[in-house]
Amino acid sequence: MLLRQLEYFVAVARERHFARAAEVCYVSQPALSTAIAKLERELDVTLIHRGQNFEGLTLEGERLVVWAKRLLAEHDGLKAEAAALRTGISGTLRLGTGPTVSTTTAIPVAAFCNLHPKANVSISSRLSSAELLRQLRDFELDAAIAHFGPEDRAGLEVVPLYKERYVLLVSGDQLAPGTRAITWSDAAQLPLALLEPHMRFRQFIDKAFAENGVTPSPQVETDSVASLYALVATGAWASVVPHTWLRAVPQLGAARAVRLIEPETTAQISLAIHAGRGSAAARAFVNVAAGARLDDQFDLQSEHWLLK
């Protein structure tokens, strides 16, 4: 069995088309098909349903493509580890985040790049929680920063980074001048723009509203925290955003941040990599991020804007 055969098999599974898979592997379609057929003979299983076109993976193919991805990732990790021993961390760290966490990556990424100047970082910042987990487990990402519940942790090494807190963003005369805090119950009575219901951040704040016996009825819903800022700036709506965004976008027009209380709700944000199989770059990033003391930095900066 050759790594090249596994690469061809994974490419076909990803592209779901023989010609496209051959193109991304820089080989002819007959060469790709011959290599996969040889792999099937060596494993004594049929991996792909074939007709005139690709018709999907067999049950055996669906199971074995996971192993193929893992072996290829191990191979890439071995090469990266050897390169790191020779010349330091290099290559590209593939980092994923959700929309609400996207701005918090700047601090650990800056520290990582400063410590490892030969390394590059590619950030995908609009991934759902489910897609983050899928890409991480399929070795399409090296690391991810997000909310990880107990049910998400199988096969992953999860390192806590900071606790996300929630603030009400308002503008205009929605609240009396000088208001420093508001209860979740009172916030639910304001005209609201919120993130969409399927997003994990929205689920956390809906739970906080529910614990106070209220259900928010937002007039506008979006998948972008930046959009929430722009909506609040019009003066027509208030919104709930992570306290970390006060550092990234401290104020916009007349918008100001107010602490949400009763209860003061938090959610743990963590960094996850493959358990026991993280790449050299991923493990180096964990070391940098874990030592960045993000809780202290974000809390200090958010306090500044909450008191303005």
Enumerate the H helices of the chain as residue ranges: 3-15, 18-24, 29-43, 59-87, 106-115, 129-137, 184-187, 200-211, 225-233, 245-248, 280-290, 294-306
**Integer Cα distance of 195 and 197 in angstroms:** 7
Nearest partner of 263 among 179, 158, 185, 190, judged by Cα: 185
- Residues sharing a CB contact under 8 Å with residue 108, sequence separation 6 or more, in sequence order: 161, 271, 285, 288, 289, 292, 294
- Looking at residue 308, its pLDDT comes to 52
- Looking at residue 84, its pLDDT comes to 59
Q: What is the pTM of this model?
A: 0.71
Q: Environment class of residue 266 by beta-carbon count within 10 Å: exposed (0-12), middle (13-18) or buried (19+)? A: middle
**Integer Cα distance of 178 and 30 in angstroms:** 72
- In which region does residue 155 sit, left (phi positive, over 0), alpha (psi from -120 to 50) or beta (all else)? left
- Looking at residue 108, its pLDDT comes to 93
Residue 226 Cα distances to 1, 186, 217, 233, 297, angstroms: 49, 24, 20, 11, 21
Q: Domains of the chain by range and CATH? A: 3-71 (1.10.10.10), 87-162+267-294 (3.40.190.10), 164-266 (3.40.190.290)
- Looking at residue 283, its pLDDT comes to 87
Nearest partner of 31 among 11, 5, 10, judged by Cα: 5
pLDDT, block means (10 residues), the chain with 308 residues: 82 86 88 88 87 80 84 72 64 91 90 91 90 88 92 89 91 79 92 93 92 92 91 91 81 77 88 80 90 77 55
